[in-house]
Amino acid sequence: MRTYGETLADDLREQCRDTWGVPVVDMYSAEEVGYIALQCPQNQHYHVQSENLLVEILDEQGRPCRAGEIGRVVISTLHNFATPIIRYEIGDYAEVGGVCPCGRGLPVIARIMGRVRNMLRLPDGNTRWPNFMLAKTHRDLPIAQIQIVQTALDSLELRAVPEHPLSEQERTRLIDYVRDWAGPQFKVGLRVVDAIPRGPGGKFEEFLSELPQ
């Protein structure tokens, strides 16, 4: 199973493995520069395609991130002689990985986090990347699609496309799931919708912030 385009969630890997008995092989690419990093054949992290481009992952002060740190992805292409791209901030955030035991020697990206709009902003001003497994809520609830949206600094909205009308108990369980994940500092609401629109480029985003960037 090969995946590309959207950020790959851990629970999707599990679903593919449980349903089809095959592993997921992910790739990281962008329309502007092509392939950026490919998943290691022996691990779940990614090898930067350094023969074709230079990838920097920088913190908010513009300093290179160390292994385990998350920063902005900045790319320079090495072979676009007609239209060179130099230190282009692509809009993604990623986590730097350590040395890979496979021996390939290429730089490692541990995880692709997503865009700024996929980052949760806490009421105290701090930020964190959502880390939840929404697919697990589908297994015992009649939900076809689900998305968490930050509508205000202290408010989250759970948007759900049900397979049939939800009972009060099912509504409560969905809201409790988000409350348990987000913490008591957030107010949580449920909005039942017919469909959840995809974002720019046709990608589906499990978490979306509507706060000004």
Are 109 and 14 found together in one domain?
yes
73 lies in the same domain as 133: no
135 and 34 assigned to the same domain: no
Same domain, 200 and 143: yes
Average pLDDT of the residues of the chain: 87
Indicate if 142 and 101 belong to the same structural domain.
no
Note down the domain range covering 182: 120-209
Q: Judge if 58 and 76 occupy the same domain.
A: yes
Alpha carbons 5 and 36: distance in angstroms, whole number: 12
Do 86 and 9 lie in one domain? The reply is yes
pLDDT given at position 139: 64
Of 116, 140, 175, the domain-final residue:
116
Last residue of a domain, one of 96, 116, 136: 116
| Tens digits of residue pLDDT in 91-141 | 899 999 999 999 889 999 999 888 888 888 888 888 887 765 555 555 667
- pLDDT score of 135: 56
User: Are 125 and 186 within one domain?
Assistant: yes
- 35, 108: one domain: yes
User: Are 92 and 54 within one domain?
Assistant: yes
Which residue stretches of the chain have pLDDT < 50?
Answer: none
Domain boundary among 63, 81, 116: 116
- Check residue 116 and give its pLDDT: 82
Is residue 38 domain-shared with residue 66, that is, in the same domain? yes
Number of domains within the chain: 2
On whether both 100 and 157 belong to a single domain, the answer is: no
Q: Which CATH number do you get for residue 80?
A: 2.30.38
